[in-house]
Amino acid sequence: MDMKINNRNAGWGILLIAFGFVALVDTFAISEWYKVLVLALAGLAAFIFYYRNRTDLVTLIPVYILWAGALITAVILGDFVNDDVIAVAVPPLIAIPFLFVYFRDKKNWWALIASYVLLLIAFIILSTEVLGLGDEFIAIVIMPGFAIPFLYVYLKNKERWWALIPAYVFLLIGVLITLDEGFGFGEEIIGPFILDGIGLPFLFVYFRNRENWWALIPSYVLLAIGTMVGLLEFNLLTDLAVPAYILLATAIPFFFVFVRNQENRWALIPGGITGVMGLGFLFGTDLGKYFTPAIMVLVGIWLLVRVIRK
């Protein structure tokens, strides 16, 4: 196992060094054909490490990438093929070894994600550069497509719940751009949508396992700020209502801590202070003249109910 890991690290290390030297060729204005030589020799060096343990096919991936890179570079320098064709062909060529590794051993599920992303990139280039489809097509159709391999990984094994996070992010971006490009929603919708959208996965983490109580903190903060931004954009939150919202939003988690475990009486101190201050600001608004007394009545009823139950 140690030799297998060492061979993999050596292969990827050689790949990084080779591409670093290729970048230096541009920096020092050396002949472009040296790129072909560097990539070809680096591929040979990586192949030697593969040969030490021929059972580990993953080690062949950097070998393939380096030799494919040398061939593609030679084709580009020789001007044998149109640039658009090369741009479309390169990602699928790089995807081939990842697909081979996955279908040879389905345990290497990570290789499926890499190959899918590369094929999707090729499809994007084909759609925009060759077929001439607009950026809206990429945003609305392609971006959600990046979520598919991560959903597949999760559905194959529900213990890999982390795969839902990148899947959700890509879907969120797709929906966001669709609202903007397809339906013309303005900034007043986009800001709250982003903040609330980022906060929801943390709620999922908490409800999936209540021991992950920490997830409630970023979720609540993002949802509270997102709601406030939306209310501000639509001018529903103005003047004294702004500090009232901030203070009351700050008080709520402290009261939640106390209600969840009434031994945490300390939470009533910061919660009570910020809550009273928030109600004070709220009382100065038109809505607060009705809302604040209603809250006071409800809190009073809650206290009486607690007494009666005891």
pLDDT digits (tens, 9 = 90+) for 236-281: 767 777 788 788 888 878 887 777 777 777 777 877 877 888 877 7
Last residue of a domain, one of 30, 49, 80: 80
Tell which of 47, 64, 80 closes a domain: 80
Q: CA-CA distance, 258 to 303, in Å (whole number)?
A: 14
Q: Which alpha helices (H) appear in 28-109, and where do they start and end?
A: 33-52, 60-78, 83-104
Entry field: residues in the chain: 310
Percentage of residues in the chain having pLDDT higher than 70: 88
Residue 295 lies inside a defined structural domain of this protein: yes
Q: How far is CA 247 from the centre of its chain?
A: 31
pLDDT tens digits for range 12-52: 888 888 888 888 777 776 778 888 888 999 989 888 888 87
* Burial per residue of 125-153, b for 16 or more beta-carbon CB atoms within 10 angstroms, e otherwise: bbbeeeeeeeeeebbbebbbbbbebbbeb
Predicted confidence (pLDDT) at residue 173 exceeds the cutoff of 70: yes
In a domain, 287, yes or no: yes
Work out how many domains the chain is built from and give that number. Answer: 2
- Residue 30: which region, alpha, beta or left (left: phi > 0; alpha: psi -120 to 50)? beta
Per-residue pLDDT, 41 = 92
0.85 surpassed by pTM: no
- Pick from 86, 88, 91, 93: nearest CA to 64: 93
The pLDDT tens digits for 201-237 are 777 777 777 777 777 777 777 778 777 777 777 677 6
Is residue 274 assigned to a domain?
Answer: yes
Q: For residue 272, what pLDDT is reported? A: 81
Four-CA torsion 28, 34, 40, 43, nearest 10 degrees: -10
Is 298 part of a structural domain of the chain?
yes
In a domain, 172, yes or no: no
Q: Containing domain of residue 286, as a range?
A: 238-310
Q: Look at residue 310 in the predicted model and tell me its pLDDT.
A: 63
More confident of the two residues 98 and 232: 98
Two tokens at 213?
Answer: 């109580």
pLDDT band at 188 (very low <50, low <70, confident <90, very high): low
pLDDT of res. 109: 77
